[in-house]
Amino acid sequence: MTEKTPFSLQGKKILVTGASSGIGLNICKSVVASGGEVIGVARRTDRLSAMVKELGETRASFINADLSVDTGIEKIIAEIPEINGLVYAAGITKLSPLKFIKRQVLEEVMNVNYFSMVLLLAQITRHKKLKRNADSSIVLISSVAQQIGTKSSLLYTGSKGAMSAASRVIANELSSQKIRVNTIEPGMVQTAMASEMEDMLSSEAVEKDRKQYPLGYGTPEDVANAAIFLLSDASKWMTGQSLTLDGGRYKLLD
Amino acid sequence: MDKNQFLQSFAEQFDETDPSAITMDARFKEIDEWSSMVALMIIAMVDENYNKKITGADLREANTIEQLFERINAK
C-alpha cells in the first residue's frame, strides 16, 4: 500500500460555486479526479445534473441555488453537510468604459462577484459548516486583473480587488480554526466568459493580447490544478496568499 | 434612429478628433484616434442610447459610419 499523497483530496468534501461552467465546472471534475467529493452550486439545473451524471452520484451532488439572494444562501446552508473546503468560482464580467457605468450594472457585477461571496462565507462561518482544526481550505477565484488597470474592466476589476482584499481579512479571522483562505488570480483563461468578452473586441486586439502571454492563454484545467493544491493538505502552511497564474504575462518582460 | 443624433453621439466618443471630421462617409477605423477603447465606447454608447447590442464583429464589418448606422438600424 502506498501512503496517501498530501495532494490527494481523499476524504474531503468540497463545495464549489459557479459549478455549471468554465473554471467552476473544471474544479468539480478535478476534485473528484483527486479523490474528493464535490457539491456543486449553480442556477442551471440541467448543467448541474449533467455534471453529476458524468462524475457519478457517489462522489458528486448538486444544489440548485441563486447566490445573489439570501434565500439561495440559506438553501445551501440547510442542505450541505460539514465540508472540508469551498471554492468560490461564481462570477460574471462586463466591459464598460468608466463614463458609461451606472448603478444598476455596478450592483449586478458586485452582487455576484463580491457581495454573495462575503455573505455565503459569513453564513458558512456562522453555522460552522467548515470543519475546524482539520486543515479546511477556502479558495476564491479572483483575477490578475485586480493587480493591474486594464481599460474598460472597472466593473470586474473592482469586484475582484474587493474579493482579494477581503480574502486576507477572512484568512486572519479564520486562522485560529486552522481554516485557510487563499485566492487564485488567473490571467485570460479560455472559457465562455472570455469568448463573450472577445466578441466585444476586435480580433486584432485579442490576437495582440494573446501574443503577450509567453505560455499562451490558460485553460480551465490550469486553474483547477492550482485549486486542488490549495484545497489539499499539500498547502497546509499557506494562507492569506494570492496565487497568480498568467502564463508569464505580467512578470516576464521582453 | 436619427442620423444626426447618432453622428453627434459617435463624435462625442473621441477626445482629440475634430467633430467636423466625423461624417457619415468617414471610414471611422482610419481615424488616428480610433482604438480598442473607442470601439468599446461606441458599443457602450449604442447600448445606452438605443438599447441595442453590437459586437466587435459589427465594427469590423462596417467601414463607414453610415454602414455602421445601417447595421444598427437593422437590429
Closest CA to A91 of A169, A170, A179, A196: A196
Domain assignment of residue B40, yes or no: yes
Domain assignment of residue A253, yes or no: no
Tell me the mean pLDDT in the region A9-27: 97
Residues in A touching B43 (Cβ below 8 Å): 200
Task: Please check the confidence at residue A21 and state whether its pLDDT lies above 60.
Answer: yes
Domain assignment of residue B21, yes or no: no
Tell me the mean pLDDT in the region B11-38: 94
Domain assignment of residue A68, yes or no: yes
Is the CB of B36 less than 8 angstroms away from the CB of A205?
Answer: yes
Domain assignment of residue B68, yes or no: yes
Domain assignment of residue A252, yes or no: no
Q: Which three cell numbers stand for residue A55?
A: 462524475
- State what percent of residues in chain A have pLDDT above 90: 89
Q: Which domain holds residue A163?
A: 13-245
Q: Which domain holds residue B38?
A: 3-12+26-73
Mean pLDDT of chain A: 95
User: How many contacts, defined by CB atoms under 8 Å, are there between A and B?
Assistant: 40
The string of pLDDT tens digits covering residues B27-48 is: 999 999 998 889 999 999 999 9
Is A248:A144 a contact under the CB 8 Å cutoff?
no
Of A97, A199, A203, the CB nearest to B37: A97
Is A171:A164 a contact under the CB 8 Å cutoff?
no
pLDDT confidence of residue A2: 58
Domain assignment of residue B32, yes or no: yes
The ipTM assigned to this model is 0.83
Its pTM surpasses 0.90: yes
pLDDT confidence of residue B36: 85
| Domain count of the fold of chain B | 1
Q: How many residues does chain A have?
A: 254
Task: Please check the confidence at residue A242 and state whether its pLDDT lies above 80.
Answer: yes
Tell me the mean pLDDT in the region A213-219: 96
Q: Say how many Å lie between the first and final Cα of chain B, rounded.
A: 11
The string of pLDDT tens digits covering residues A96-128 is: 999 999 999 999 999 999 999 999 999 999 999
Domain assignment of residue B53, yes or no: yes
Domain assignment of residue A3, yes or no: no
The string of pLDDT tens digits covering residues A169-179 is: 999 999 999 99
pLDDT confidence of residue B1: 85
Q: Which residue from B minimizes the CA distance to A151?
A: B37
| Domain count of the fold of chain A | 1
Tell me the mean pLDDT in the region A210-216: 94
Domain assignment of residue B20, yes or no: no
Is A38:A111 a contact under the CB 8 Å cutoff?
no
Q: Domain with A28 in it: what CATH number?
A: 3.40.50.720
pLDDT grade, residue A223 (50/70/90)? very high
